[in-house]
Structure 1
């Protein structure tokens, strides 16, 4: 089952998350996540980041780095969503990095998320980032 309303809501959630990362809006980055969210990122720890506060804290180094980069880009280039009544998953590709470096031997960031519907809202319960290596 792929509910088009759910798909639209989830796409919007991921696009808002990326827009918040683009502008350094930490509250916007964490807004669409569950309290027990789990994230596996490109950087350590290998066991993942668990819980909303740990997820929030994990963004500090990235936001510091991106704030100093000239014309830093964090944008969604594609999203695919599969949604049921109360659980869903999505995967997306993102361009990420200084605008001058994109397209020059750069690899897109791969994003996979697992979502739960809570109190009528879709929230990200699991987030995973990776880079495709050529």
Structure 2
């Protein structure tokens, strides 16, 4: 599985590079037609399908053009024969946001499946910790 894990690591790193460059074709590469994504901004019920996934990126690219970072800090991959998942932490934010909250990390979870011998992303989940909720439920 080490070869599969390395292929998946490369796939995710190339995806992150495409996101940072605002390269929509690169972002869409290696994604299943029936992709499901749960993202930070609405819709909170997620998006389903490659067309809906495609539509989420232009607003992000516009925000990112303000100088925002999108950088993988850590990435772990686990692969089986035809199903795999990965999780990562990323620095994602404008210089001001990162200066105000240097500890903030974007959390990424990716589910993949092997289709015709190649890995494709079938599920993405992006999230930030909501510290207001965490503080409200954490015992004093």
TM-score normalised by the chain length of structure 1: 0.91
Give the Å deviation of 1:6.
Answer: 0.8
Alpha-carbon distance in 2 for matches of 1:132, 1:46: 15
Give the Å deviation of 1:91.
Answer: 0.4
Paired residues, what number? Answer: 130
Q: Which residue of 2 aligns with 1:80?
A: 76
Q: Verify: 1:118 aligned to 2:115, yes or no.
A: yes
Note the residue ranges of structure 2 that are not aligned, 5 or more in a row: 132-140
Give the Å deviation of 1:103.
Answer: 5.5
Q: Which has the larger radius of gyration?
A: 2
Q: Which residue of 1 aligns with 2:29?
A: 31
Give the Å deviation of 1:133.
Answer: 3.4
Alpha-carbon distance in 1 for matches of 2:94, 2:12: 21
Alpha-carbon distance in 2 for matches of 1:15, 1:90: 11
| More off after superposition, 29-38 vs 92-101 | 92-101
Q: Tell me which protein shows more helix as a share of its residues.
A: 2
Note the residue ranges of structure 1 that are not aligned, 5 or more in a row: none
Instruction: Please identify runs of 4+ aligned residues in structure 1 that moved more than 3 A.
Output: none
TM-score normalised by the chain length of structure 2: 0.87
